[in-house]
Amino acid sequence: MKHKEWLDRLLSILYPPRCVCCGAVLSTGERLCETCSERIARIEAPVCLLCGQSLQDCSRKHPKTAYKEITAPFYYEDAIREGIHRFKFRDRPQYAAYFAQEMAASIRANLPGVAFDQITCVPMRTAKEKERGYNQSALLAQELSKLLEIPVHCHLLRKCADTPAQHELKGAERRGNVFGVFEVAKPELTQGKTILLCDDVKTTGATLDECAKMLKLAGAQEVYCACIAVTRKNKSVETVSYTHLTLPTIA
């Protein structure tokens, strides 16, 4: 047995693969255990790219945003919500690889005609990033850069003020909480560019919208967004403009 094969086997015994969502030890090459696989809510086509939800969950009542379209593979519910919490708050930076793979599949399916010039991410304050040890959105952007073969600039945006965490606020408070707190650190990199902006979760979209607004003000041509998950809005379904939908391929 070669040294590397022996080392890989030893590491697999000492650090067995675990489910991204619940942490259960896995015996196969999958990233989710059977129980969590049944507890994830995928966003199925056709998709409304204004809100990122499946058409059946879309209400069509979308505020105007600085970003053009958004896509995500999951709803922020059940097992995926637990997995994102582990990724962000329980020191699991390695989970970025799995989530980015799912995000990349969503981007390929829902934004196939977009030629991105670069990828960036929602920034954190330096002190908070040092406390956590990483910016989870930057890790996602870096993984997506490898998968999609697009240049990444994680420090294109800068957060210039401390604010309460968005998840601690009500919907109406979130937009005011992020107003004016982001700036473009390298405006020369945005001129005429089509940018993919990454974050972990979209709830109201206020953070993504504010970041996209600053990128557009700095000269970006278009900004698109990608997240691991979006919050499902349970509203009545209305007719949606087909210019913002991704329809399933008919064989």
Cα gap 29→48, rounded to integer Å:
32
State residue 247's pLDDT score: 42
Instruction: Tell me the residue ranges of DSSP E strands in 72-179.
Output: 74-75, 118-121, 157-159
Torsion angle of alpha carbons 62, 87, 152, 232, nearest 10°?
-10
Cα gap 23→122, rounded to integer Å:
27
State residue 122's pLDDT score: 97
Give the pLDDT means over successive 10-residue stretches in the chain (251 positions).
49 69 86 94 96 92 93 98 96 96 98 97 92 96 98 94 54 54 93 97 94 96 98 56 42 35
State residue 244's pLDDT score: 45
What pTM was computed for the model?
0.84
State residue 157's pLDDT score: 96
Helix (H) or strand (E) holding 13: helix 3-14
